[in-house]
Amino acid sequence: MSSTPTRFIILALFATQALAPAEIDSGGGKSSGGAVFNHSSIGGSFATVLSLGGGTFNHPGLIEVIYPITPGSVTDVNANGLSDGWEFQFFGALGVDPAADADHDGTSNLMEYLAGTDPNDAHSVFRPQGSLTHGIFGMPIQTVTGRDYKIWVTRDLQSWTLQSTLTGDGTEQLFEFDETTVTAGPLHSDSHPSNYFFRVEILIP
Ligand SMILES: [Ca+2]
Ligand SMILES: [Ca+2]
Phi, psi of 11 (to 5 degrees): -90, 125
Confidence of residue 167 (pLDDT cuts 50, 70, 90): very high
Q: How many CA atoms lie within 13 A of 81 on its CB side?
A: 22
> Above 90 in pLDDT, residue 19?
no
pLDDT of residue 101: 93
Report the separation in Å between the CA atom of 21 and the middle of ligand 1, taken as the mean of its atom positions.
20
Q: Give me the chain's average pLDDT, please.
A: 74
Report the separation in Å between the CA atom of 8 and the middle of ligand 2, taken as the mean of its atom positions.
28
Pick 22 or 55 by higher pLDDT: 55
Q: Residues of the chain with pLDDT > 70: what percent? A: 68
pLDDT tens for 20-39 read: 334 444 444 443 333 333 34
Report the separation in Å between the CA atom of 176 and the middle of ligand 2, taken as the mean of its atom positions.
28
pLDDT of residue 25: 44
Pick 71 or 158 by higher pLDDT: 71
pLDDT of residue 127: 81
Report the separation in Å between the CA atom of 77 and the middle of ligand 1, taken as the mean of its atom positions.
6
Report the separation in Å between the CA atom of 110 and the middle of ligand 2, taken as the mean of its atom positions.
8
The SS3 call for residue 110 is helix
The CA distances from residue 166 to 34, 146, 155, 171, 173, in Å, are: 29, 11, 22, 11, 8
Q: Which ligand is nearest to the CA of 109?
A: 2
Give the mean model confidence (pLDDT) for residues 172-178.
Answer: 93
